[in-house]
Structure 1
């Protein structure tokens, strides 16, 4: 992605978060120069994978396959004394896919905080590590048990959530005609370096073409 595209995504996300009065930490608004004055904080956020994250999964089709994220809080896997939880706030566009994946460590609640509706499609993980296309999927939406056929979908409206157990294969996207979706995530510790298992993409992070200055660095650029 071009840096100008990433800057535009961050500006859009900030406007949408403000529209539901979701306030980000002060350092969410730091410029690269501000971060340079806060090396300890920069190293902390980098180690905890906290801050801005914009990805097109290395495919250059952000509108069709991409995600804007901000990690508000997070621990570090298998580190004594670290918090055991994480929180994110994300923007998902209409028909913009977060592709098929699962986590071995992280359980998570996906919560629609505002905007449009979120479509979530689900499979169980088979013994061979592939999608189990035979067995029913069981998930709870705000405590309500849902039993779906393999590949079944749920549609979450603002205020609704789904709890995704470990190893449940899922993808999600914004429902057509409903506008961008503001999505929260509350989970166990998040590790995008070791606990994402994708099926049809190899790149979690985006290669950046520097066509203009960054307004805010991404978390993986902090402390570098």
Structure 2
């Protein structure tokens, strides 16, 4: 992805969050110069802040996601905070691809916008898609669904995804973009993502202009 594309996507994301009355932390609006000397902060250590990906495919409009991590612990440094929170934007026509987490249990919440579709499978002992029905909790009520079924979340609804539960999500056609919340155990995107089709979690950035805001993958270079 080009840095100019990243800058434009973050600018649109800020407008989207504002439209839906979701306020980001003040440091979410900092430029690179504001981060100097902040390397010992929880934000930098635990990779909070802006994050987006095209999963290495170069087609963000079809396969991509923009995220902002608000809080997180850090298993590597012994940070005792046992939880994480993200706010994400999924555009209509985009897909977050099929994957599961070995360790992380998470609630995915439709915070605002259109309807969010979650496609679900269990996984077998070889980490392949399972054809066995699975139990899933939607807003605290457990339902049994067939493998490959879709659960549609309208604004305000949520689903609990257990470790080992394959999931992909996308917007229901015609309902618009979705602001997606995530509340989970500690998040480690370097070690705890198992994509059904092997994909890189973070994009390669072509620096065709200066960053307006840093991505979490920029901290090592700029901070």
Question: When the two structures are superposed, what TM-score results if normalisation uses the length of structure 1?
Answer: 0.95
Paired residue total: 221
Q: Does structure 1 retain, via aligned residues, the 8 Å contact 2:82–2:185?
A: yes
Match of 2:187 in 1: 190
Secondary structure in structure 2 of the residue aligned to 1:54: strand
Structure 2 stretches lacking a partner, 5+ long: none
Q: Does 1:50 align with 2:41?
A: no
Q: Residues 4-62 of structure 1, C-alpha deviation per residue, up to 9 Å, x if partnerless? A: 11111111111111122211111101101111253333xx3232121100100011010
| Residue number in structure 1 paired with 2:159 | 162
Distance 1:172 1:196 in 2: 15
Contact 1:46 1:221 in 2 (8 A): no
Separation (CA, whole Å) in 1 of partners of 2:39 and 2:165: 38
Distance 2:36 2:220 in 1: 8
Any runs of at least 4 consecutive aligned residues in structure 1 with deviations exceeding 3 A, and if so which? 78-81
CA distance in 1, matches of 2:92, 2:146: 24
Q: Bigger shift: 190-199 or 74-83?
A: 74-83
Residue 164 of structure 1: how far off its partner (Å): 0.5
Moved more, 152-161 or 80-89: 80-89
Which structure 2 residues correspond to residues 1-224 of structure 1 after superposition, within 5 A? 1-41=1-41, 44-77=42-75, 79-133=77-131, 135-224=132-221
Q: Which whole-Å CA distance do the structure 1 matches of 2:71 and 2:169 have between them?
A: 22
Q: 1:93 to 1:27 in 2, by over 3 A?
A: same
